[in-house]
Amino acid sequence: MDVLVVGSGGREHALAWKLAQSPHVERLFVAPGNGGTAAVAHNIPIAATDIPALVSFATRERIGLTVVGPEAPLVDGLADALAASGLRVFGPTAAAAQIEGSKAFAKRLMIEEGIPTGVGAIFDDYETARAYLRRQGAPIVIKASGLAAGKGVAVCRTLEEAEEALYRTMVERAFGAAGDLVLIESCLTGEEASLLAFSDGITVTPMIPARDYKRVGDNDEGPNTGGMGGYAPSPYLPPPLVDEVSQRVLQPAIEGLRRRGTPYVGVLYAGLMLTSLGPRVLEFNCRFGDPETQVLLPLLESDLLEVLLACVEGRLEEIELRWKPACAVCVVMASRGYPGDYEKGREIAGLAEAAALPDVVVFHAGTAPANPDGTGERLVTAGGRVLAVTATAPTLEEARQRAYEAVGRIRFEGAHYRRDIGVGASAAVQRTGPCWREWVS
């Protein structure tokens, strides 16, 4: 089968890398791809948001399955457009993707379906929102309801910060129409975890739990980013808790969407806070996580294409996911300035030396060929998040050390990365013993 992956980040490189290992995949395309996907697939110069061009490419090339990475084209109806042309697609329809496209929609769904989440309220009027905010006090969370490239959530420690965030979102419209509706929510504390699940619209099959790090700096300091690293499996969400989240969160969400006439086919991602009162949903995403995918797929033993096809064909119940008895840690290397305005065009050295380490994969996010005509092997930085360096090993601590050893071999001017990815979890595992044995199926 010929397969098309849509997107250009580290997540899409990981998807293409894993799909390329399937014996069922003949030609593999990535649109538009990056410097890394070019090594495992054919990059096609079509933007992930150009729905008509993607549909005509998939039609012309008789693509057997299109796998959509990012949320924006899903929310804009890429899956609907492909399906309307008789093409198979892995990813939800625009209506079902509202679970990420509108945080207000997701909050209402959670309340109506009894899914555990933080207390909050939705506003379309600035003055009313500000009055509510002043009554609630800090700490508090301000969320733009619409898509804001991961930047629309402000966790505010003081009322002053919260008022500023609300003003920026609703009055200055820093995120455009995405901030016309705003959620003001209680600030939850605990360990964070991401539980992603495959769904065919009825059956829900959770993956192993992962964790990402959203803040740019060590100890969760500094502004939010798209994600600066991650690990899997999370020792904080052992199998009984995964079952609980599956029953109380994922299944009610999938069932609720199905009952509303918008069945959900794709990956449903629950961002969780593991509070002292139990898991609470922070957000839903309608796709694979980035960088969670870069730690999950290297641990997935099953053939990814078979799993995706089972979802699309409504027979996920036939599939039992198999996971490697190992842990993975991913460290994201970013350009100077990221998550603000960042530099581009810096030459990247040491990629081969890093990838030569055992069980290390360097997923590319913002890289491009140094030569504008695409020839030659030299690569330069071309995005905020440049590389996602993943290592797998029998324990989280070994995976962490190997990932940082690989990072140490890569150089580009202005590179920065967090130095504490997996530190707390690794210490927790050392206290409680290795957790991965429980995940082997």
**Residues near ligand GLY, by CB under 6 A:** 150, 212, 227, 285, 289-290, 292
Backbone angles phi, psi at 83, to 5 degrees: -65, -40
In the bound state with ligand GLY, the residue whose beta carbon lies nearer, of 12 and 292, is 292
The per-residue DSSP string of 113-128 comes to HT--B--EEEES-HHH
Peptide linkage before 233 cis (omega within 30 of 0): yes
In the bound state with ligand GLY, the residue whose beta carbon lies nearer, of 64 and 229, is 229
Interatomic CA distance for residues 20 and 26, integer angstroms: 9
| Alpha carbon separation from 361 to 3, 19, 229, 364, 368 (Å, rounded) | 22, 15, 14, 10, 18
Residue 60 buriedness (CB in 10 A; 0-12 / 13-18 / 19+): exposed
In the bound state with ligand GLY, the residue whose beta carbon lies nearer, of 9 and 64, is 9
Q: How far is the CB of 234 from ligand GLY (least distance, A)?
A: 13
Q: How far is the CB of 97 from ligand GLY (least distance, A)?
A: 13
In the bound state with ligand GLY, the residue whose beta carbon lies nearer, of 150 and 325, is 150
Interatomic CA distance for residues 51 and 77, integer angstroms: 8
Dig out the tokens for 410 from the structure. Answer: 């890569």
Q: How far is the CB of 169 from ligand GLY (least distance, A)?
A: 18
3-state secondary structure of 158: coil
| Alpha carbon separation from 233 to 21, 56, 211, 324, 393 (Å, rounded) | 22, 39, 8, 11, 12
Interatomic CA distance for residues 363 and 7, integer angstroms: 14
3-state secondary structure of 84: helix
In the bound state with ligand GLY, the residue whose beta carbon lies nearer, of 136 and 234, is 234
In the bound state with ligand GLY, the residue whose beta carbon lies nearer, of 64 and 101, is 101
Q: How far is the CB of 413 from ligand GLY (least distance, A)?
A: 26
Q: How far is the CB of 151 from ligand GLY (least distance, A)?
A: 11
Q: How far is the CB of 226 from ligand GLY (least distance, A)?
A: 7
Question: Which residue's beta carbon is nearest to the bound ligand GLY?
Answer: 289
3-state secondary structure of 298: helix
Strand partners, 24: none
Interatomic CA distance for residues 135 and 440, integer angstroms: 49
Peptide linkage before 32 cis (omega within 30 of 0): yes
Q: How far is the CB of 9 from ligand GLY (least distance, A)?
A: 9
Q: How far is the CB of 35 from ligand GLY (least distance, A)?
A: 21
In the bound state with ligand GLY, the residue whose beta carbon lies nearer, of 71 and 200, is 71
In the bound state with ligand GLY, the residue whose beta carbon lies nearer, of 227 and 266, is 227
Q: How far is the CB of 69 from ligand GLY (least distance, A)?
A: 10
The CA-to-CA distance between both ends of the chain, in Å, stands at: 28
In the bound state with ligand GLY, the residue whose beta carbon lies nearer, of 55 and 210, is 210
